[in-house]
Amino acid sequence: DQQVKQNSPSLSVQEGRISILNCDYTNSMFDYFLWYKKYPAEGPTFLISISSIKDKNEDGRFTVFLNKSAKHLSLHIVPSQPGDSAVYFCAARVTGANSKLTFGKGITLSVRP
């Protein structure tokens, strides 16, 4: 059962435009969400996160939006740069002493120069 879903496996965007990466979840107990970025031959690196008590978190060019009623979150990258080309993973967790991160399958973002 895939509790975190990234239904679009890939996205191609022109440099300078906005990239919107979507993520859906099914477990209503999730209360913290994270995005990780992964380049080939490297481990994932933390990008941005959001708590369920918020609906938006912004960090430079990256903004994450959370719609709890729809169980949907999205990552906006504005403006997109060629260096943003990577695989982006959405992850979620339930706060607790033994919680783990549940990841989606990832979205491959390609930013065209």
Partner 1 sequence: KAGVTQTPRYLIKTRGQQVTLSCSPISGHRSVSWYQQTPGQGLQFLFEYFSETQRNKGNFPGRFSGRQFSNSRSEMNVSTLELGDSALYLCASSWTGTATTGELFFGEGSRLTVL
CA atoms of 7 and 30, how far apart (whole Å): 19
Q: For the segment 25-54, give every residue that binds partner 1 (CB under 8 A).
A: 32, 34, 36, 41-46, 49
Return all residues near 9 (Cβ < 8 A) that are at least 6 apart: 105, 106, 107, 108
Cα separation, 91 vs 109, whole angstroms: 17
Q: Please state, as a whole number, how many other Cβ atoms lie within 10 Å of the Cβ of residue 28.
A: 10
Task: Tell me how many residues contact partner 1 (CB under 8 A).
Answer: 26
Per CB under 8 A, the list member of 77, 91, 109, 111 interacting with partner 1 is: 91
For 50-64, letters b (16+ CB in 10 Å) and e give bebeeeeeeeeebbb
CB of 57 to partner 1, least distance (A): 12
* Interface with partner 1, residue 106, by CB under 8 A: yes
The one segment of 12-20, 52-60, 67-75, 87-95 that binds partner 1 by CB under 8 A? 87-95
Q: State which of residues 64, 104, 109, 111 lies at the interface with partner 1 (CB under 8 A).
A: 104
Per-residue binding string, partner 1, 53-82, x by CB under 8 A, is ------------------------------
Residues in the chain: 113
**Contacting positions for partner 1 (CB under 8 A):** 6, 32, 34, 36, 41-46, 49, 89, 91, 93, 95-106
